[in-house]
Structures are given as structure tokens and as C-alpha cells.
Structure 1
Amino acid sequence: MRRRIPIIATAVLAMGLAAAPQAQANTGYENQMSPEACEKSQATSLFKYAIYYNSNYGGAYRNIGYSVWDFADERIGGAPQGGTQPLRFCHGGNGNGQGIKNNAASVKNKHTTYYAVTYFNSGYKGSADWSSPRSQTNLSVTKNENASFAWQTL
């Protein structure tokens, strides 16, 4: 006996409305709303990249888990939506509540495999500071001129 897929399920799949697998989670949502970003310390967060307001890993910071196309507009649920949705520093200290774009001075990369690349321009473009796996770096090229971040391999 052949098993039949219900008509509604077939229609949903045909329209591409089925839920995305967990591996394809909405990264904008995760970077904005996950407890890993603002409720956990950099030491305990599962997010592997932390960006700091001050040099030498001082002041406010935010944990980030996924590449960010534009720090000034990290969309929840994709585009388009009204207004911008900036990522902000959320752990107390100097710079708390400030937008990350063009305000960061240092980063930590806890990843064991990937380089954390902080870019001058949005869209992973322009000059960049590369942080090797398991390192911390004062930004030099992009200090207070940072617009996006991506994980990279060599």
C-alpha cells in the first residue's frame, strides 16, 4: 500500500513555505535576539566573535554568532522591513547601547577554525582586520570604521 502525502503538505512544499532546517536559521534573528548575544558573558557564550567598544577588549561589547552584512542594519526575518535594525553593544561599560557600526576598537575570536574578518564597508567589502582562530586583536585598519563582519578560511 502506497502512503499518500496530504494535499496541504504537498501544497506547502510546492510553494516553498516549509520551515527551514535548523542549520539555516535566520542569522539576523540570532545575532539580534539570541541570549548568546547579550545575556551571556563573552567567556560563556556559544557565539565565537565578540566586538568591543574600546581597545584592549574594554568597555561594552556584543557576542556575535553569524556573519553580519551591515552592523547598522541586521534584519530580523530578512528584508525588507521598515527602518533599520542596528546591532548595539549590550554588555555594560563605556559604549553600552551604542551602535556597533563605526564604533568598535577590538575583537576576540574564540573559533578554533575560522578567521574573524572585520570589514571597513558593509557587504564584506573594503579594507579589513583579520583575527586568526583563538585570538584577540585591537582593530587597526577598521578601528572606529567598521561596517561588517564575516567568518573566513584561508
Structure 2
Amino acid sequence: MKMKGRLLALGVVGMAAMGTAFATVPASAAPKPITSGGCEDKYVCLYYNSDLKGAMFKHRYNISNYAGYVFTASDAGSAGAGQPVKNNAASATNWEQGNGIRIYVNSNYIGDWDGVPAWTWVNLSATKNNNASGVWDH
């Protein structure tokens, strides 16, 4: 029981230290808090609905054409499950450490795009429900 208490205390101290570190970031530069919705480390996840809601599609590599890929139910919901990813994503989260990703309107990384920096999430604007490819910024 003593070990559990010590681990809990360490966790509380660690969380407090993290909160202090994040509190020093200027509000204008602070990224949106990241929530997983089932997304995993080193993946980008596209969601059927805004605000990381609904069915999800996750990938780790560049995809020049989202045709043929479908959304699957996630921790964030099942709305849109089975729907094509191409031209149906409304938001995205990026769990890739150090690399942003660009979601493009057209296949082969052409046209307008929305950027999703590392460890952030966005509601897509230029590519909302009009997305066709995704490429990592290296």
C-alpha cells in the first residue's frame, strides 16, 4: 500500500511540474490540447466530425490518395464508420513527435492544404470534407 501512495504522490508532483511548464507558454503560441480519441503515438488521425469526434482513420506514412480508405469506429464515436476517408474528414490530430503533416485538397499533395503541427489538433478549414492526400513535413 505504501508503494501505491508513493507512486500517486510522484504522479501528482509530475503533473504539477508539467502544468507549470505549460503555463509559461504565451497564450498566442499555445497549441490546442491534444486528445487521443484512440489515436496513437507516431500517427496522424483524421476524424469524420469536427472537434475530433466520430469515426477515425489513422496512418503513419504519406498517402498520395485517400481513395479506398474508410473511417472506423473509435473512442471518439462511430458516426461516419465505413464512410470513405477521401473528401469526408473534418478534423485531425497529429501524434508524430517533431513532424507536422499537411492534408491536401487534391491527390498527390496538390492544391490547398491544412497543416497539423506535431502534438496538436485542428478542425480542418481549407480541406474540410474536401481532403484527398496527406504528407509529412520532414
Identify whether the pair has TM-score above 0.5, normalized to the shorter chain.
yes
Q: Provide the alpha-carbon RMSD of the alignment.
A: 1.6
Q: Which amino acid aligns with 1:91?
A: A
Kindly indicate which of the two structures has a greater share of residues assigned to strand: 2
Distance (whole Å) between structure 1 residues aligned to residue 54 and residue 105 of structure 2: 21
* Counterparts in 2 of 1:44 and 1:96: CA distance versus 1, 3 Å: closer
Identify the match of residue 73 of structure 2 among 80, 91, 100: 91
Structure number with bigger Rg: 1
Deviates more, 1:44-53 or 1:57-66: 44-53
Aligned position for 1:48: 43
Per-residue deviation, residues 69-113 of structure 1 (Å, max 9, x unmatched): 0000xxxxxxxxxxxxx0100125110000000000000001121
Structure 2 unpaired stretches of 5+: 1-35
Distance (whole Å) between structure 1 residues aligned to residue 117 and residue 108 of structure 2: 20
* Counterparts in 2 of 1:144 and 1:67: CA distance versus 1, 3 Å: same
Aligned position for 1:66: 61
CA apart distance, 1:150 = 0.6
Q: Which runs of 4+ in 1 moved over 6 A?
A: none
CA apart distance, 1:44 = 6.2
Aligned position for 1:122: 107
Structure 1 unpaired stretches of 5+: 1-40, 73-85
